[in-house]
């Protein structure tokens, strides 16, 4: 089964869970109860602001949630990094791909989506099925800053858990490039994930030098391999 593009219908139908169970059965998937408890804990810690969601990777170009506003935003203390191995979806057990996480240190420019209060719980329930498949991410409320550095709210951001089984935040650059250039799975290739993220950032006027450099390096490897 090739999913190609992740939609709300596929997420709500449990297609991601089914894909991982089929392609990487050794990965422990969080139960519905565990995901529900995680969501309730996150909502219980909600600041007195509108509910914003901070996207720094695929959420930028495929948010799959209904929102009423979006805005370029910066979070401090975290940076975008290809630090999460994916034995399913964008890679395989034999050649795990890489996707983005928010790792500690620095700052990250991304896109914040404001979700209307009357649909927050249902929208986040869909989001949790997508992002909280395993225990790789820790959802946190982070301060969001505009282009002038002014805080305009707090948003949910999925930060990486460095203690999780699939954390790969210490890879050499050559390994990152090779895996991004060669890994693929039911959701497509890791390279496509990188290219779409780069295009999504550029569409919002966000310049990420490292992501753009990675794109060039991965494209060069693929060209040399005749991909």
Q: Are 122 and 225 in contact (CB under 8 A)?
A: no
Segment 172-180 long-range contacts (CB within 8 Å, at least 24 positions apart): 176/82, 176/98, 176/214, 177/214, 177/217, 177/218, 177/221, 178/221, 179/91, 179/95, 179/96, 179/97, 179/98, 180/82, 180/97, 180/98, 180/214, 180/218
The question of whether 131 is a catalytic residue gets the answer yes
Q: Which of 34, 131, 165, 174 is catalytic?
A: 131
Phi and psi at 195, nearest 5°, equal -65, -45
Catalytic residues: 131
């Amino acid at each position: 089964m090739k999913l190609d593009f992740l939609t709300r219908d596929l997420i709500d139908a449990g297609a991601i869970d089914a894909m991982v169970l089929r392609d990487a059965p050794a990965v422990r998937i969080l139960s519905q109860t565990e995901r529900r408890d995680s969501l309730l804990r996150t909502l219980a810690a909600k600041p007195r602001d509108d509910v914003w969601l901070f996207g720094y990777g695929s959420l930028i170009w495929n948010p799959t949630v209904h929102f009423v506003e979006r805005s370029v935003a910066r979070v401090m203390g975290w940076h975008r990094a290809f630090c999460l191995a994916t034995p399913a979806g964008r890679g395989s057990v034999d050649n795990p791909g890489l996707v983005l996480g928010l790792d500690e240190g620095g700052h990250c420019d991304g896109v914040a989506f404001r979700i209307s209060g009357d649909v927050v719980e249902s929208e986040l329930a869909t989001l949790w099925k997508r992002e909280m498949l395993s225990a790789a991410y820790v959802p946190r409320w982070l301060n969001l800053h505009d282009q002038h550095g002014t805080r305009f709210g707090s948003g949910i951001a999925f930060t990486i858990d460095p203690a999780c089984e699939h954390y790969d935040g210490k890879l050499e650059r050559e390994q990152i490039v090779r895996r991004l250039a060669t890994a693929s799975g039911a959701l497509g290739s890791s390279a496509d994930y990188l290219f779409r993220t780069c295009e999504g950032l550029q569409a919002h006027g966000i310049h990420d030098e490292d992501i753009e450099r990675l794109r060039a390096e991965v494209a060069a490897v693929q060209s040399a391999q005749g991909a």
